Amino acid sequence: MLLRDIAHSRAGDKGDISNISVIAYDVNDYPLLEKYLTPERVKAHFAGIVLGDVVRYALPHLGALNFVMQHALGGGVTRSLALDAHGKCLSGAMLGMDISDVT
């Protein structure tokens, strides 16, 4: 199952930091988000793009997780040579994550 099957996302960027929120369509799917969307898995999913720390903030009453990813935009939106590596592009890429059981 892909993440986009159970959630949508919102994103923002500032400097070289990308901020992505993943929100379950149904709050009953929130435990799946918590289980499969660890900072380590998110960083691995963005290997070669996110070069800094990934910090996860839980918002259980909203059925959401927020990820703050440092050094994720090639030096910053105005400095990057990437065509469109801004937060919105990364949030779409995050929804392509496979959230099948990895154990």
Q: Which residues of 38-63 are buried (b: 16+ CB within 10 A; e: fewer)?
A: eeebbbebbeebbbeebebeeeeeeb
Looking at beta carbons, which pairs linking 43-50 to residues 24 or more positions away fall under 8 Å?
43/69, 45/93, 45/94, 45/97, 46/72, 46/90, 46/93, 46/94, 49/85, 49/90, 50/18
Domain of residue 9, residue span: 3-94
Average pLDDT, the chain: 86
pLDDT tens profile 10-52: 988 888 888 999 999 999 999 999 999 999 999 999 999 899 9
- pLDDT for 103: 43
Look up residue 43 and give its two tokens.
């960083």
For residue 103, being part of any structural domain is answered with no
Calculate mean pLDDT across residues 74-79: 64
Number of domains in the chain: 1
Look up residue 75 and give its two tokens.
């030096």
CATH of the domain at 66: 3.30.70
Calculate mean pLDDT across residues 61-79: 84
